[in-house]
Structure 1
Amino acid sequence: MNFLLIIGGLVLLILGGNWLLKSAVALSLKLDIPKIVIGMTVVSFATSAPELIVSINAALIGKSDLALGNVIGSNIANLGLVLGITLLLGTMEVQKSFYKTDWPVMMIASGLLYFFLIGDNVIEQYEGVILFSFLIIFLIFLLRFQKTAVIDELPEDDEPLPLYKIVLFFILGGLGLWGGSELLIKGATTLATEFGVTDRVIAVTVVSIGTSIPELAASIIAVVKKEKAISLGNLIGSNIFNILAVLGITSIITPITLVDDRLLTSDIFWMLGISFIILPLVFIPKGYRLNWKDGIILLAAYCIFIYLTI
């Protein structure tokens, strides 16, 4: 039964990722917005929805480690697992906006999370307000200034869609991702619980991989369709959304208390390290691109993290 839930969840996630990408590309055409901006806003918010639902539910029932571990684990999985696998499928050209805005904001958000936790092991409601406010400022900046700063090349097969179809695909995609994640998490956590592991281990492995599958589905589909601007923008944006929106909104609803110290002494440093290493990988050996070698490095780092966690 659990395996059926997992397979059903995966199918829904792949369908949802495809529908969401279709609406995002059509929306960028209609509004004349670069795809990397759409990837970092519309697609990132929709693919972060599973993390948000899981984290709020977990925090409300007193399982804060599940909420916190889910976000930290998802951010590690997005760059180690998802970007790693995506790069094995092909070289990715990187926009200048990556190091001018996207990467610095991701590192600042990650640093803020560490700073809020290190003092008292709690993300208070006012700290949640700070995180969410930072997201709003970032999005305003992104849409105001990056809209004209990004050079965008539209593939020839892109077709504008009527507004009702864009909305329909967006809703179907969001529902597919949400429903798929719910099924996947239910099946996976039941399997993990049977092995008698802690909330933190379940969160940073099974749940985080489950909630990162929308990003994986969306990114692989983006690469196959040669929409690589969406792919990298989606992953960086998703990590920013996970911290600023998911933990921000969750802690505004109810403070998030750290229970397992290993989230703070180990997992968060893995998140900061993998987030940081993306910058030198982009520039070495040739600037503004990531290739299969970088993918192997990221996947190796992720495998080591999972091995040490389990």
Structure 2
Amino acid sequence: MSVLLVLAGLAFLVVGGDFLVRASVGLSFKLKISKLVIGMTVVSFATSAPELLVSLQAALDGVSDIALGNVIGSNIANIGLVLGITAIISPLSVDKDFYKYNWPMMMLVSFALYFFLKNDNVLTSLEGIVLFIGLILFLVILIRSSRKSMKVNLEEVDDALAEVSNFKIFMWLLIGSVGLYYGSEWLVEGAKQLAMAVGISDYAISVSVIAIGTSVPELAASVIAALKSEKAISLGNLIGSNIFNIASVLGLTSIIKPIIVNPNTPEILSTNIFWMIGFAAILVPFILIPKRFEIGRLKGVLLFVSYLIFIILALK
């Protein structure tokens, strides 16, 4: 039953998230918001909604382990699993802007999360506000920079959504909201039951099973694009997702309900958060050595194998 709840929860989250993205973009066009701002803010916030709902539901249920595991595991999966597999299928070229804005911000919020949690084993409401304000400032800088350079990929914003009727937008919002609500409820409950049945912690389930599940849409999109020899999901999108997971998902969740580190899962601060920081940090030497601004198949294999090692250790 626990496995069915997890699978049903993940399915509802994927469907709900997809409808929410469509509704959000359609509504943004109605409100005359520019395509650039839609692509860099609305889409990013909407695609983080499944992780946000899961983390919030977990925090409200008193299982902060799942909230933290979901984000830490998703950030590791985005680089080790999604980027690794995509690079194995089709080598990725990297824009020089990567280490000008996105990578430093990812490292900054990753270290901020570590220090906030290490300080008193709690991510407080005030710390959540700091993370979220940092995200808003980062987006303002990014949007201004993109407007000046005109170097921005807007392919993910579907122009056809500008013509959608208000009724359709309302129905998409309704379907998306219902999907996300029940998906998060079932996923958190299923994860708790599964952890109890298998005899491992809620955190171990969230950092592996749930994290992989919430990364499936990105993985599917990347693999399909790579197999079609199209431009695969950009490194910027994955890094952006990692920034949003910490600053938006954990930031907003902790504002509503402080996230407490469970003393029974010391691996959160002793090992796993360093895996997350390590996967983020390794990207710069990977991009500069030996072939500059490219993540080729060998690097993809190294990332993927490292991710498998992490999962094996996490489930022990």
Q: Do Structure 1 and Structure 2 share a fold, with TM-score over 0.5?
A: yes
Structure 1 residue 163: Cα displacement: 0.6
Partner of 1:271: 276
Count residues with an aligned counterpart.
Answer: 304
CA contact (8 A) 2:64 2:261 kept: yes
Which letter maps to 2:267?
R
Over 3 Å counting, the alpha-carbon distance change for 1:60 and 1:189 in structure 2 is: closer
Structure 2 CA distance for partners of 1:9 and 1:92, relative to 1, 3 Å = farther
Q: Greater CA deviation, 296-305 or 279-288? A: 279-288
Query: Residues of 2 paired with 1:195 and 1:154: CA distance?
Result: 44
Q: Could you give the per-residue CA deviations for residues 140-179 of structure 1, whole angstroms, max 9, x where no partner exists?
A: 1111112343535788xx9842514498598599669847
- How far apart are residue 254 of structure 1 and its match? 1.4
1:89-108 residue CA offsets vs partner (Å, 9 max, x unmatched) = 21212112211100110000
- 1:208 paired with 2:211, answer yes
Gaps of 5+ in 1: none
Structure 2: gaps of 5 or more residues: none
Question: Is 2:291 aligned against 1:292?
Answer: no
C-alpha separation in 2, matches of 1:205 and 1:110: 19
Question: Match for 1:304 among 298, 309, 314?
Answer: 309
The answer on whether the counterparts of 2:127 and 2:251 sit within 8 Å (CA) in structure 1 is yes
Taking only aligned residues, the RMSD between alpha carbons, in angstroms, comes to 3.5
Distance change in 2, residues 1:227/1:148 (3 Å): farther
- Residues 31-87 of structure 1: CA distance to partner in whole angstroms, max 9, x if unpaired? 4639xx93x534432332111111111111211111112111111111111111222
The answer to whether the 8 A contact 2:14-2:50 is kept is no
Contact 1:13 1:213 in 2 (8 A): no
Matched ranges for 1:1-310 at <5 A: 31=34, 33=36, 38=39, 41-149=41-149, 151=151, 160-165=159-164, 178=180, 190-223=193-226, 228=231, 230-259=233-262, 260-310=265-315
Deviation at 1:189, TM superposition (A): 5.3
3-state SS in 1 of match to 2:236: helix
Shift of 1:287: 1.5
**Do 1:14 and 1:217's aligned partners in 2 also have CA atoms closer than 8 Å?**
no
In structure 1, distance between residues paired with 2:99 and 2:175:
30
**Structure 1 residue matching 2:160: 3-state secondary structure:** coil
CA distance 1:95–1:108, change in 2 (3 Å): same
Equivalent residue of 2:101, what SS?
Answer: helix
Greater Cα shift, 115-124 or 162-171 = 162-171
Cα distance between partner residues in 1 of 2:175 and 2:102? 24
